[in-house]
Chain A
Amino acid sequence: LAKTTQPISMDSYEGQEVNITCSHNNIATNDYITWYQQFPSQGPRFIIQGYKTKVTNEVASLFIPADRKSSTLSLPRVSLSDTAVYYCLVGRMNRDDKIIFGKGTRLHILP
């Protein structure tokens, strides 16, 4: 299972774009990159998943360089409600494959 490294915490302001980068130097060929968001006393919520280049959905974008050794989650125009812990996970997404969580990034949005 590929190990991931993220900043422990980040602060930003409402309306700003926030980019959280995750390093995963030993990512395997079949591994996908998945980001989750977790609010206090709730389970993690799926944000976005990708394999290479760029993926965009209604809440975020995920940028993955060609070597796939890192990835960047981009949150456009954040609001106070985006204050949460964000986890970058790397692994195969087959049925039995377990996911090991790293420490995550605690994002604090300021007014």
Chain B
Amino acid sequence: GAVVSQHPSWVICKSGTSVKIECRSLDFQATTMFWYRQFPKQSLMLMATSNEGSKATYEQGVEKDKFLINHASLTLSTLTVTSAHPEDSSFYICSARRQRVGSNQPQHFGDGTRLSIL
């Protein structure tokens, strides 16, 4: 089955640091990937849609200068949390959908990245 991998799974860093999270589709190509964040006991909140070779589309209220998204290849999207602060601490999850013309494909999710800013 489709596999989406995230790295790192856990990161702890000081306030003011920039943190990069990678999302890879391991056995399929994905022109579109999605980034979510999730706070404890809450549902996933869509942050942005990452498009290969073009700019990401951000949801309302998500700062594009704060959360930089790069989708440089068909199998890799990165989310960089710039100048992270404690309020950015959260669980970040990416997803991707296999590209198949004429069929409906569910999204496959990575196992998430736990970001803790001290």
Contacts and interface: CB of A to CB of B under 8 A. Distances in A.
B108 A41 contact: no
A101 B93 contact: no
A51 B51 CA distance: 27
A94 interface: yes
Contact of A34 (B4, B99, B106): B106
User: How big is chain A's contact interface, by range?
Assistant: 20 to 34
Interface of A: 32, 34, 36, 41-46, 49, 51, 87, 92-96, 98-104
Interface stretch (B41-49, B65-73, B75-83): B41-49
Interface in B77-118: 91, 93, 95, 97, 99, 104-112, 114
A95 B108 CA distance: 12
Given A43-B93, A44-B44, A46-B106, 19 more contacts: A32-B104, A41-B112, A42-B111, A42-B112, A43-B110, A87-B43, A93-B97, A93-B104, A95-B32, A96-B51, A98-B49, A99-B34, A99-B107, A101-B36, A101-B43, A101-B44, A101-B46, A102-B43, A104-B43
Interface of B: 4, 6, 31-32, 34, 36, 43-46, 49, 51, 91, 93, 95, 97, 99, 104-112, 114
Q: Classify the interface of chain A: helix, strand, loop or mixed.
A: loop
A96 B32 contact: yes
Contacts of A34: 106
